[in-house]
């Protein structure tokens, strides 16, 4: 990916065109926070519906723009480089506010906007309760940092947004978490931070190498592809540094241990965020940096086999450990670890179709995990003070199918999507990954296929525990009264429709994301079967 | 090469005095004695300066020594006032009683 | 084009499922179950019935289509599913002679079963949900047979697995039914892994996933072997052969019409269909054919012995199904692909009949399923008796029934085709004998003799209504006369079945010896006729007096005990596979995850704390210690200038 085939004036024109499309992703969340300051506080009766409605509308605007960019604008332009705008920040050091979008980023942006909207619809109760303003503001910051991560084209800017997302999580868990949140939160923060430091050191090393070769400081993504004359020892350093940082953020085995502990101690919105969107930042990092000139040759070596097996073992490990869990949150944490294993296996599979599948799988996983988690939303008392401390033990619910048929259908479809049933969106990604990876590396694929069976076992046991049986077998009095708001039913319906629509015809949703991958695959003569 | 001639005796003496002063500052607990040790350090340095001034037949060392004497006087005035203030706070001039920053 | 109606075959039951499903959400609980069952059942039956009509029309269209050269089929392309670079997956439907037959079976027998269910579910308050699941199952099965590429077959394959899970666990309040459903799904999933591996290997070796392109492939013998083996593993899961068959007997927890449709007529035959599509590849590897034949033969014999000892009317039929499926796979293993499909068809007729009849009996006896508590039902349930007798005769292979023609053709193929052999023939003949034994045992213990059940007026059995008996008669007619379409040459009749199927399938030539009387055909036919008729007659008398085989033949007590406890396969699997998995998961969660990985993460933080703790000693708070440190350090720095 280089910018040499377009002239300077053309680039200026493109940056002027892109400005109104890309700037809203930064301005709108900030606008939301400012508006929140000026709206009257709600105490008691007058629950804050207005801030929530503004929240939803701003998200809908961002979703609309990202959909337009993803489906119409970018395919029409047929660009293979990122189009955007660039403002000065510290030009002598090569640090700019450089924002741009290409096929890969637009896919991630679109799906994360979609997932955010879905999360906001499912969790409406949390936002309109007393002091729900904290959640709203934190969500705005998260949206801002996620958008920034996907859109930034400058490494330091990328790092800024990458770190920024930790703050709102800190706030939400500290204010509304379980009473023993400190250890888990500290572990999450420091673990993720350590990974980011590894990433920052790799960035700076890259810039230093660039300075040594070319004599000026540069932190631009694509230009650093020039730094190709690397000897093997330095390449190993970069690969390990990038792998560790993205693996920690994207909860890949064996760097996943912060996840179950954090889930146990956080309120539900945080769990939704991490499981729906935040791991996508790690996935984006993988897809942006690894299939790139300076790291790809490393994947062809024995390191590639090692990481492939690591991913495959992660699949089996995540599903197997999930089997032993009694707490719903921990079980879903390990299932997420399992799904990320597929992703890692695909990245190192040396196969173009598997790469494409990894893109599909990671975008879809957010939706899948959100619908699985949403099963627990009506079952949990959402009082903001005590929600994280309430029990999520699976054994307290039983026999819900007899009373709540709609709910059961939604839960069953969500479970089937997590199982990767053909016809649901979960299948599109997993199948492509397994298919592509088998063509090149048979061993890891066979290991991952074991995980397919185990994952089915875990999910069906969960479904049966909650919904089948007689309701008198449950241990919770809350078993008897489960209520659903219209907003929840709407969100559930949207989720089901998405599941089936993306499952039956995934190609139109992901085709724009192909352009960058295809060009890369063609240049490096990657196997496309 | 190093000659041990008359000029070096002064330096050796100055070094000895410097070491004594250093050891006093490090090992004695009484603050007044420590201040005396500091005076000894400064005077040893003075002696060394004068010795070198004589050895190289340059006046610079002696001029420097004047500066040092002045500074030593100022410093001991400030040091003693700090000591009086400290005594007013903790009632003792033993340095073992000033370990509030431990750990 | 006319072939766009192919999509309608799939969409009709899908719509039916959707409508009845929505009905089940909105129904009121005060409504009588009978009305609910009638309403949903009629909608579902109409959907399937229309699909049947369209299948007939497609069948007719296909028979009219003539091509100058190349295979005959109707095709419809639905678009692109996923594509990256040159690799494209597309969705399309394709009808040729094989799946036209399958379509007719699925929609036709399915229609009859839907009608039966209207009567069967008339006292169940969740009847609408039942019909919704049943229609959804038919949709998935039709996708399986009509899809033009293996990914689409896989879609239907997993789809029927899911619907089977929902229907087996239909009465989900009871623990054992939940366990049975889970078992079925997981064992099928293991088979699905085999399917995936086979599909991936197929693409790797041939570069194409459409079954229409498979005939002219040149593959090495070993790659054909592995591809076929992987797909065969999938078949052992779906079609209940060794080692993955153990879900089928447990699947009897579901409503009986479900067992008739899914576990007799359609889903379990999906494995056969799959292997039919892979004919080109299977024929390249004689080793694989032998493995298939022998695995199926052992399964068949083993489950026939178990069927002889069972006392639950549905379990007898379940093990019988496993055994008959073994017959079909043996047919494939010896190369008689069209015969396997023929047996699928006749088996669909008589096994569905038997299951529905059993359902009628259970319905009449108010839920009683143990044959030891039945008996003498001939006078209470005359229609059921008559139709079930026909079914049993077909199952046992009494001459001139449909089962006779298909089973006999299989036995003949074992001897006549080069892939078969005499030992295989002997095994299958013994199995055929056992088939006669358990089928006559079923009839005798249920309908003949003295009535052993409750005699109070409330619990006296009563014949079922017309919704249930009319489909029974239709199926009985098919079971009795349906075999003539595959009549062997010896009767100088045209083998219409082979003539139809042969247009899409390669039929291996049976060596012809002699002109008028085909001796190689006659002898096995005579042998199996004699065995079937004599066993049927003889054991009818035996089972009038005794209820279990070991009461008549004293020497077989140990063997019967072993067989009746199904050779302890479930217990063995539980011990070797299930328990270790759960134990390992606890081990991984506690020891590996918590104690090893997590502790090492904590330890790295702890390491930092410890080092800091040691460094703390330097901060004594003592002024002079700090002074000493400064002096030492300065001295060190100064000394470097002299080095």
Residues of chain A neighbouring C173 (CB-CB closer than 8 A): 399, 402, 468-470
More confident residue, C6 or C225: C225
Three-state DSSP at C43 gives: helix
Name the residue in chain A with its Cα closest to that of C606: A187
Instruction: Return the closest-CA partner of residue C472 out of C574, C364, C583.
Output: C364
Interchain proximity A453–C589, CB inside 8 Å: no
The least confident of A400-404, A464-468, B55-59, C74-78 is C74-78
Instruction: Return the closest-CA partner of residue C166 out of A480, A401, A319, A470.
Output: A401
Going by C-beta distance under 8 Å and a sequence separation of 6 or more, which residues neighbour residue C385?
C377, C378, C447
Please state the separation of Cα C318 from the chain's center in Å. Answer: 11
Interchain proximity C621–B102, CB inside 8 Å: yes
Select the residue from A253, A256, A257, A502 to test the C interface by mutation, using most C Cβ atoms within 10 A: A257
Q: How far is CA A244 from CA A210, A253, A284, C419, C479, in A?
A: 23, 11, 14, 57, 66
Residues of chain C neighbouring B100 (CB-CB closer than 8 A): 621
- Asked whether at least 3 C-beta pairs link C and A within 8 Å, the reply is yes
Tell whether the model's pLDDT for residue A123 goes beyond 60: yes
Interchain proximity A469–C178, CB inside 8 Å: yes
Tell whether the model's pLDDT for residue C133 goes beyond 90: yes
pLDDT tens digits for range A186-209: 999 999 999 999 999 988 888 888
pLDDT tens digits for range C275-308: 998 888 888 888 999 999 999 999 999 999 999 8
Mean pLDDT of A283-288: 90
CB C381 within 8 A of CB C464: yes
Residues 336-365 of A with CB under 8 A from C: 352-353, 356, 360
Sort residue A525 into left (φ over 0), alpha (ψ -120 to 50) or beta: left
Q: Where are the beta strands (DSSP E) in A113-159?
A: none
Distance CA C22, CA C45 (A): 16
pLDDT at residue A1, rounded to an integer: 36
Residues of chain B neighbouring C628 (CB-CB closer than 8 A): 26
pLDDT at residue C370, rounded to an integer: 87
Cα atoms in the 13 Å half-sphere on the side-chain side of A311: 30
Interchain proximity A324–C25, CB inside 8 Å: no
- Point out the residue among B22, B96, B103 whose CB comes nearest to the CB of C631: B22
- What is the band of C63 on the pLDDT scale with cuts at 50, 70, 90? confident
Distance CA C385, CA A302 (A): 70
pLDDT tens digits for range C489-544: 666 666 777 777 777 777 766 554 333 446 667 777 888 888 888 888 888 888 88
Mean pLDDT of A163-175: 92
Mean pLDDT of B47-65: 94
pLDDT tens digits for range C547-604: 777 777 777 777 888 888 888 888 889 999 999 999 999 988 888 878 888 888 888 8
pLDDT tens digits for range A498-517: 999 999 889 889 988 887 77
Indicate the fold that domain B31-92 takes in CATH.
Helix Hairpins (1.10.287)
pLDDT tens digits for range B40-55: 999 999 999 999 999 9
- Map out the domains of chain A as residue ranges: 8-523
Cis ω for the linkage preceding C564 (within 30 of 0): no
- What is the band of A2 on the pLDDT scale with cuts at 50, 70, 90? very low
Can you read off the two tokens belonging to residue C400? 């001139």
Distance CA A370, CA A332 (A): 10
Tell whether the model's pLDDT for residue A42 goes beyond 80: no
Q: How far is CA C30 from CA A522, C27, C123, C599, in A?
A: 65, 9, 13, 59
- Kindly state the percentage of chain C with pLDDT values over 90: 42
CB C507 within 8 A of CB C337: yes
Distance CA A266, CA A182 (A): 10
* CB atoms near residue C612 (< 10 Å): 9
CB C154 within 8 A of CB C211: no
Mean pLDDT of C476-493: 77
pLDDT at residue A81, rounded to an integer: 67
C173: contact with A, CB 8 A cutoff: yes
- What is the band of A52 on the pLDDT scale with cuts at 50, 70, 90? confident
More confident residue, A83 or A338: A338
Place of tokens 């992901």: A510
pLDDT at residue A515, rounded to an integer: 76
Distance CA C449, CA C438 (A): 16
Instruction: Return the closest-CA partner of residue C170 out of C26, C24, C349.
Output: C24
Orientation angle between helical segments A133-151 and A103-122, nearest 10 degrees: 170
* CB atoms near residue C435 (< 10 Å): 29
CB A506 within 8 A of CB C82: yes
A421: contact with C, CB 8 A cutoff: yes
The least confident of A238-252, C63-77, C250-264 is C63-77
Instruction: Return the closest-CA partner of residue A266 out of A135, A368, A435.
Output: A135
The least confident of A391-395, A415-419, C505-509 is C505-509
Can you read off the two tokens belonging to residue C224? 């054909």
| 3-class SS string, C448-474 | CCCCCCCCCHHHCCCCCCHHHHHHHHH
Three-state DSSP at C502 gives: coil
Interchain proximity C619–B98, CB inside 8 Å: no
DSSP single-letter state for residue A398: -
pLDDT tens digits for range C384-416: 999 999 999 999 989 888 888 889 888 888 887
Residues of chain A neighbouring C582 (CB-CB closer than 8 A): 323-324
Distance CA A292, CA A226 (A): 11
Phi, psi of A96 (to 5 degrees): -125, 160
- Map out the domains of chain B as residue ranges: 31-92
- What is the band of A10 on the pLDDT scale with cuts at 50, 70, 90? low
More confident residue, A393 or A335: A335
Residues 583-622 of C with CB under 8 A from B: 616, 619-622
* CB atoms near residue C420 (< 10 Å): 25
Q: Considering the entire predicted model, what is its pTM?
A: 0.89
Residues facing C90 on adjacent strands: C80
Number of H helices, E strands in chain B: 3, 0
Tell whether the model's pLDDT for residue C205 goes beyond 90: no
Long-range contacts of A19-22 (CB under 8 A, 24+ apart): A19/A85, A21/A65, A21/A68, A21/A69, A21/A73, A21/A101, A22/A84, A22/A85, A22/A99, A22/A100, A22/A101, A22/A151
Mean pLDDT of A256-260: 91
Tell whether the model's pLDDT for residue C216 goes beyond 70: no
Tell whether the model's pLDDT for residue C73 goes beyond 60: yes
Indicate if the alpha-carbon torsion angle C596, C601, C604, C610 is positive or negative: negative
- What is the band of A381 on the pLDDT scale with cuts at 50, 70, 90? low
Name the residue in chain C with its Cα closest to that of B34: C624
Instruction: Return the closest-CA partner of residue C36 out of C107, C110, C128, C104.
Output: C128
Cis ω for the linkage preceding C243 (within 30 of 0): yes
Distance CA A338, CA A322 (A): 9
Tell whether the model's pLDDT for residue C102 goes beyond 50: yes
Tell whether the model's pLDDT for residue A299 goes beyond 90: no
Interchain proximity B26–C616, CB inside 8 Å: no
Please state the separation of Cα A439 from the chain's center in Å. Answer: 27
Q: How far off is chain A from C59, nearest CA to CA, in Å?
A: 28
Can you read off the two tokens belonging to residue C35? 């009305």
Residues 617-636 of C with CB under 8 A from B: 619-624, 627-628, 631
pLDDT at residue C118, rounded to an integer: 92
Looking at every residue in chain A, the average pLDDT score rounds to 85
Alpha helices for C80-216 (secondary structure H): 97-120, 127-146, 150-168, 175-206
pLDDT at residue C177, rounded to an integer: 92
* CB atoms near residue C552 (< 10 Å): 14
Distance CA C403, CA C414 (A): 17
Tell whether the model's pLDDT for residue C420 goes beyond 80: no
Mean pLDDT of A170-188: 88
Mean pLDDT of B51-77: 95
Distance CA C266, CA C70 (A): 29
Going by C-beta distance under 8 Å and a sequence separation of 6 or more, which residues neighbour residue A231?
none
pLDDT tens digits for range A129-158: 767 788 899 999 999 999 999 999 889 999
Distance CA C244, CA C189 (A): 10
- Kindly state the percentage of chain C with pLDDT values over 70: 93
More confident residue, A3 or A419: A419
Number of H helices, E strands in chain A: 24, 2
Distance CA A261, CA C599 (A): 13
More confident residue, A485 or C1: A485
pLDDT at residue C1, rounded to an integer: 44
Instruction: Return the closest-CA partner of residue A364 out of A115, A73, A90, A180.
Output: A115
Interchain proximity C82–A432, CB inside 8 Å: yes
- Point out the residue among B25, B27, B103 whose CB comes nearest to the CB of C619: B103
Three-state DSSP at A298 gives: helix
More confident residue, A363 or C453: A363
For chain A, the first-to-last Cα distance in angstroms comes to 23
The least confident of B69-83, C47-61, C485-499 is C485-499
Instruction: Return the closest-CA partner of residue C405 out of C333, C446, C350, C457.
Output: C350
pLDDT at residue A526, rounded to an integer: 55
Residues of chain A neighbouring C155 (CB-CB closer than 8 A): 422-423
pLDDT at residue A397, rounded to an integer: 84
Distance CA C370, CA C383 (A): 20
């Amino acid at each position: 990916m280089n910018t040499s085939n377009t002239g300077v004036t053309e680039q200026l024109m493109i940056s002027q065109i892109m400005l109104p499309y890309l700037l809203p992703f930064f301005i709108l969340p900030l606008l939301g926070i400012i508006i929140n300051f000026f709206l009257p506080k709600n105490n008691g009766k007058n629950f804050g519906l207005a801030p929530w409605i503004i929240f939803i509308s701003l998200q809908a605007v961002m979703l609309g723009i990202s959909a337009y960019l993803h489906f119409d604008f970018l395919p029409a332009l047929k660009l293979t480089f990122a189009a955007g705008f660039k403002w000065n920040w510290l030009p002598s050091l090569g640090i700019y506010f450089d924002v741009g979008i290409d096929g890969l980023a637009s896919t991630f942006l679109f799906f994360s906007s979609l997932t955010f909207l879905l999360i906001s619809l499912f969790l409406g109760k949390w936002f309109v309760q007393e002091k729900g303003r904290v959640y709203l503001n934190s969500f705005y910051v998260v949206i801002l940092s996620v958008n920034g991560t996907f859109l930034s084209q400058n490494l330091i800017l990328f790092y800024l947004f990458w770190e920024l997302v930790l703050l709102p999580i800190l706030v939400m868990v500290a204010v509304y978490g379980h009473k023993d949140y400190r250890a888990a939160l500290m572990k999450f923060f420091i673990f993720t931070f350590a990974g980011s430091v590894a990433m920052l050191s790799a960035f700076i090393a890259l810039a230093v190498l660039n300075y040594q070769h070319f004599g000026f400081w540069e932190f631009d993504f694509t230009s650093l592809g020039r730094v190709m004359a690397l000897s093997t020892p330095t390449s190993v350093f970069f690969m390990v540094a990038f792998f560790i940082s993205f693996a920690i953020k994207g909860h890949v085995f064996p760097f996943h241990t912060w996840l179950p502990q954090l889930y146990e101690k956080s309120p539900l919105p945080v769990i939704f965020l991490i499981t729906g969107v935040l791991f996508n930042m790690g996935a984006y990092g993988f897809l942006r940096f690894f299939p790139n000139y300076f790291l790809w040759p490393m994947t062809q070596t024995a390191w590639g086999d090692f990481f492939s097996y690591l991913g495959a073992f992660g699949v089996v490990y995540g599903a197997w450990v999930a089997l032993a869990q009694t707490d719903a949150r921990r079980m879903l944490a390990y299932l997420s670890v399992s799904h990320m294993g597929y992703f890692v296996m695909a990245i190192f599979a040396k196969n173009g179709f598997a790469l494409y599948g990894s893109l599909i799988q990671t975008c879809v996983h957010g939706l899948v995990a959100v619908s699985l988690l949403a099963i627990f939303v009506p079952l949990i008392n959402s009082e903001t003070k005590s929600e994280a401390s309430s029990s999520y033990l699976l054994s307290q619910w039983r026999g819900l199918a007899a009373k709540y048929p709609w709910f059961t259908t939604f839960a069953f479809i969500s479970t089937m999507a997590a199982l990767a049933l053909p016809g649901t969106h979960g299948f599109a990604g997993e199948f492509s990954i397994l298919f592509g990876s088998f063509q090149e590396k048979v061993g890891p694929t066979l290991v991952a296929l074991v995980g397919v069976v185990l994952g089915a076992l875990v999910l069906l046991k969960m479904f049966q525990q909650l919904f089948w049986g007689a309701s008198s077998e449950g241990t919770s009095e809350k078993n008897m009264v489960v209520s659903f708001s219209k907003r929840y039913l709407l969100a559930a319906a949207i989720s089901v429709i998405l599941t089936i629509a993306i499952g039956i015809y995934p190609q139109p949703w992901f085709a724009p994301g192909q352009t960058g991958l295809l060009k890369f695959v063609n240049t490096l003569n990657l196997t496309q079967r | 090469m190093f000659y041990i001639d008359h000029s070096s005796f002064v330096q050796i003496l100055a070094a000895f005095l410097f070491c004594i002063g250093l050891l006093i500052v490090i090992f004695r607990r009484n603050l007044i004695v420590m201040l005396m040790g500091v005076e000894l350090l400064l005077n040893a340095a003075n002696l060394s300066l004068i010795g070198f001034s004589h050895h190289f037949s340059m006046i610079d060392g002696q001029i420097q020594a004047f500066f040092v004497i002045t500074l030593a006087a100022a410093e001991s005035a400030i040091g003693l006032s700090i000591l009086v203030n400290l005594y007013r706070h903790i009632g003792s001039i033993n340095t073992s009683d000033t370990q509030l920053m431990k750990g | 084009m006319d072939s766009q109606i192919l999509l309608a075959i799939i969409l009709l039951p899908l719509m039916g499922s959707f409508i009845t499903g929505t009905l089940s959400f909105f129904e009121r609980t005060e409504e009588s179950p009978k009305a609910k069952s009638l309403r949903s059942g009629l909608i579902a039956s109409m959907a399937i019935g229309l699909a049947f009509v369209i299948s007939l029309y497609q069948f007719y269209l296909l028979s009219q289509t003539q091509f100058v050269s190349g295979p005959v089929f109707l095709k419809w392309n639905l678009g692109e599913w996923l594509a990256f670079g040159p690799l494209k997956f597309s969705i399309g439907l394709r009808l040729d002679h094989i799946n036209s037959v399958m379509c007719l079976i699925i929609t036709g027998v399915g229609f009859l079963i839907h009608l039966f269910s209207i009567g069967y579910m008339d006292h169940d308050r969740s009847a609408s949900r039942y019909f919704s699941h049943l229609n959804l199952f038919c949709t998935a099965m039709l996708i399986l047979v009509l899809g033009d590429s293996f990914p689409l077959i896989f879609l239907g394959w997993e789809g029927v697995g899911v619907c089977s899970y929902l229907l087996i666990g239909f009465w989900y309040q009871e623990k054992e039914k939940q366990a049975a459903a889970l078992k079925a799904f997981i064992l099928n999933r293991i088979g699905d892994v085999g399917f995936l591996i086979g599909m991936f290997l197929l693409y790797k070796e041939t570069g194409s996933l459409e079954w229409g392109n498979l005939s002219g492939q040149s593959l090495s013998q070993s790659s054909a072997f592995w591809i076929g083996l992987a797909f065969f593993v999938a078949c052992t899961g779906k079609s209940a052969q060794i080692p993955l068959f153990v879900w089928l007997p447990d699947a009897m927890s579901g409503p009986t019409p479900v067992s008739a449709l899914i576990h007799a007529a359609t889903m379990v035959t999906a494995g056969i269909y799959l292997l039919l599509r892979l004919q080109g590849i299977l024929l390249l590897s004689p080793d694989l054919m032998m493995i298939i034949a022998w695995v199926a033969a052992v399964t068949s014999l083993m489950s026939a012995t178990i069927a002889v000892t069972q006392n639950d009317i549905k379990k007898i039929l379940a093990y019988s199904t496993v055994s008959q499926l073994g017959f079909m796979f043996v047919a494939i293993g010896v190369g008689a692909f069209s015969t396997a499909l023929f047996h699928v068809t006749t088996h669909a007729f008589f096994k569905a009949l038997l299951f529905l009849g059993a359902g009628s009996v259970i319905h009449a006896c108010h839920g009683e399923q143990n044959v030891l508590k039945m008996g003498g039902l001939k006078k209470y349930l005359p229609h059921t008796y008559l139709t079930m007798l026909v079914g049993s005769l077909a199952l046992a292979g009494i001459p001139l029934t449909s089962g006779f023609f298909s089973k006999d053709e299989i036995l003949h193929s074992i001897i006549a085709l080069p892939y078969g052999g005499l030992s295989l023939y002997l095994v299958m003949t013994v199995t055929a004998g056992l088939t006669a034994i358990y089928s006559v045992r079923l009839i005798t213990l249920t309908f003949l003799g003295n009535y052993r059940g409750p005699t109070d007026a409330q619990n006296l059995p009563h014949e079922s209504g017309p919704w249930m008996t009319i489909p029974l008669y239709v199926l009985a007619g098919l079971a009795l006369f349906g075999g003539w379409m595959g009549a062997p040459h010896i009767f100088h009749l045209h083998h219409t079945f082979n003539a139809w199927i042969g247009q899409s399938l390669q039929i291996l030539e049976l060596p012809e010896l002699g002109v008028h009387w085909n001796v190689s055909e006659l002898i096995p036919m005579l042998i199996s006729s004699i065995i079937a008729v004599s066993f049927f007659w003889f054991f009818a008398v035996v089972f009038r007096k005794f209820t279990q085989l070991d009461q008549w033949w004293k020497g077989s007590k140990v063997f019967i005990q072993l067989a009746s406890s199904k050779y302890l396969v479930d217990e063995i699997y539980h011990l070797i596979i299930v328990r270790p998995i759960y134990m390992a998961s606890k081990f991984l969660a506690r020891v590996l995850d918590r104690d090893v990985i997590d502790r090492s993460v904590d330890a790295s933080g702890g390491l930092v704390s410890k080092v800091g703790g040691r460094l703390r000693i330097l901060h004594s708070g003592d002024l002079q210690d700090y002074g000493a440190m400064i002096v030492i350090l300065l001295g060190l720095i100064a000394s470097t200038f002299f080095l």
